[in-house]
């Protein structure tokens, strides 16, 4: 399952600062969504070039299938290959 979302700044109740997180209707759901996914990736654009980021400390991100890195190519291929290497199967 892939969920594409806009981002918004949320106040972090633990440290008091702000974090970039998924945008949802209402405030209660946004902090819960990242825990339901194996990978939460921040996409960014510099001019005409898009990149994925799993290392931004200002965003609520996590990764199980990609390295912790900025400037990753925006491709689902590495995620699917890692999943398949752990026994995942795609059937029609």
- pLDDT number for residue 49: 96
- pLDDT number for residue 31: 65
Give the chain's mean pLDDT.
Answer: 87
Domain regions of the chain by residue span? 7-85
- Asked if 20 contacts 60 with a C-beta cutoff of 8 angstroms, the reply is yes
In this prediction, residue 1 has a pLDDT band, given cuts at 50, 70 and 90, of confident
Closest by CA position to 2, among listed 61, 88, 80, 86: 80
pLDDT at 55 over 90: yes
Compute the average pLDDT of residues 61-70: 94
Alpha helices in the chain (DSSP H): 77-85
Q: pLDDT of 3-36, one tens digit each?
A: 888 888 877 777 778 888 887 776 666 667 777 8
In this prediction, residue 37 has a pLDDT band, given cuts at 50, 70 and 90, of confident
């Amino acid at each position: 399952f892939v969920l594409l979302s806009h981002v918004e700044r949320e106040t972090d109740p633990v440290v008091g600062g702000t974090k970039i997180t998924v945008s949802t209707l209402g405030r209660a759901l946004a902090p819960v969504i990242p825990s339901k996914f194996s990978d939460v990736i921040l996409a960014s654009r510099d001019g005409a070039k898009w990149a994925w980021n799993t290392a931004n400390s200002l965003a609520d991100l996590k990764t199980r299938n990609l390295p912790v890195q900025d400037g990753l190519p925006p491709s689902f291929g590495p995620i699917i290959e890692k999943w398949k290497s752990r026994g995942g199967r795609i059937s029609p």
